[in-house]
Each structure stands twice: as C-alpha cells, then as structure tokens.
Amino acid sequence: MQDEFMILSESLTRPPSKSEMFELAKEPMGYLVEPITLELWNRLEQSITPNSHWYWFDFNCNREKIDFDAVELGSLFELSFPCDVKHRFDGIVLNLQLGWANYEQTFRHCLKWLKPGGQLFFSTFGPDTLFELREAWREVDSYPHVHDFPDLHALGDQLSNIGFEKPILDTDWQGVEFEDIDLLMSDLHDQGFNNLHQQRRKTLTGKQRLSDLRKQFSGQQTVQMTFEIIYGYARVPTGVQGAVHVNVPSLKS
C-alpha cells in the first residue's frame, strides 16, 4: 500500500536507524532543525492528553528534549502502518518532511488517518528558504539548484479544500551564517536537502560550476542564508468547514 502515498522521492535521505532517530543534536544543521522541532512541540504539547494516540513523522527526533513516550515515531518515507488505515490517530505531526512530499496527497492521507476531531500540526520550509543560494546559482546557469518548497497560501488552501477545518498557518524566518559556501553545501548534502525540482540538472554539477558559485560569494567574510519556516495547524471537522486563517509576520531585517 506504500505506493498509494505518492511520495515525490523515496531517495530524499537514507532511512535512519532507530538509534539515529534520536541523534538530532549530532546531525548536520541540528542548530536549525532542533529549535524548529522544539517550537512545534511547544505548540502541540498541551493537545496531547492521557490515552490519546499521536503519530510524529520526522527524519530525526530528539528524545532528550521532547516527551516522545506519548507519541509514535516514524517517517513519511517509510510508513510503519498500512497506508489505508482509517480514523486511527487523535493527532498527527509532520515535522519538516512535507517539503519533499506530495503535500496534497499527504494531507488527504492525514485526513483519512485522523479520528473525527483529530488534530494536525506541521512544520515545513517555505519558498524563501535559501533564496540567497538560489539567486547565486542563477548567475552560474539557468537550472534550478534549490528545491522548490511549498507556499504558505497553497498549503492553507489545500487543507481547506480537502476538508480540514479552519487551518491556521504562520511563518517565521531564521538567518544562519556559514563560514563559507563549501560548509553550507556540505551541511545541505549531509542533512538530505535534496533538490527535487522537475527542471533540475540531472547530471553532476561539476567542479567548474562549483567554482563559479564560490565566486558569487567572494569577498564576503561569511555566507548568510535565510530559512523560511511555515507552521500549520488544522482539525478534522465535525461540523461546517471553515475558512483558512493565515498569519504572516513581517520579515525582520
């Protein structure tokens, strides 16, 4: 039944072992992933009640800082239960996996997996993520080198259209400084930040293109990158479907 899930790519990252699932702080870009994970946990912690059944989808989970005894752990790219189950969970959490999945199909499956009144929480990178790197690559060639992450409004509309009740979404931006472009590229590669854009170059990037990319950042003491993080919430309706509520804070310089 796994094929029904319609994940865009099963090769986003190698499936983590059980021990690796709890080594977030040791993973590349843990400095970015960990605060996002903790923010998501803080938003949903009060919703987890005794005897409720929750499932947390993630690439990595830090057991030391989050009470994962209250939830099951797994990955969208390696389901631990039949894809066609219905009304199984009181809550579902999608932490940073949505950006590499078919989000329409993912939401439809979550709607099916959740019980009436069940809650969905998620975080995902947004389209402004790595825009500095995207612009730099445009000076090198015409191919898209940065993955195309979903837009906040598209996610909200999709949630409402398929039947979730009153989706609420908001956006945050985090700036990260890297020592140089090579460290950035290494971290992105090790973390599994694969570019799945349909028009991406299918061959190796090559030393010359990487050299041309480095020139775009020459003269800079550090390489600064922006990461847009979208947080979302929705509930399985028990009455009339509501409208989408979007709260977008201003981008701080």
Q: What residue spans define the domains of the chain?
A: 2-8+17-130+147-176+227-247
- Sequential pLDDT tens for the chain (253 residues): 333 333 333 333 333 333 333 343 344 466 788 888 889 999 998 899 888 999 999 887 555 656 667 788 888 888 888 888 899 999 999 998 888 888 899 999 999 999 999 999 999 999 988 888 887 876 666 565 677 888 999 999 999 999 999 899 999 998 888 888 877 777 777 766 665 545 455 544 656 676 777 777 777 778 888 889 999 999 998 854 444 445 544 444 3
Integer Cα distance of 238 and 97 in angstroms? 27
Question: What span, in angstroms and rounded, lies between the C-alpha atoms of 154 and 88?
Answer: 27
Q: Is 30 helix (H, G, I), strand (E, B) or coil?
A: helix
Instruction: Report yes or no: 48 and 93 within 8 Å, Cβ to Cβ.
Output: no
Query: Class of 2-8+17-130+147-176+227-247 per CATH?
Result: alpha beta
pLDDT, tens digit (0-9, with 9 covering 90-100), for 40-79: 999 998 899 888 999 999 887 555 656 667 788 888 888 8
Cβ-in-10-Å burial (0-12, 13-18, 19+) of 219 comes to: exposed
In contact, 165 and 234? CB cutoff 8 Å: yes
Maximum distance among all alpha carbons in the chain? Answer: 59
What are the φ/ψ torsions at residue 67 (nearest 5 degrees)?
Answer: -80, 75
Pairing of strands 54-57, 89-95: parallel
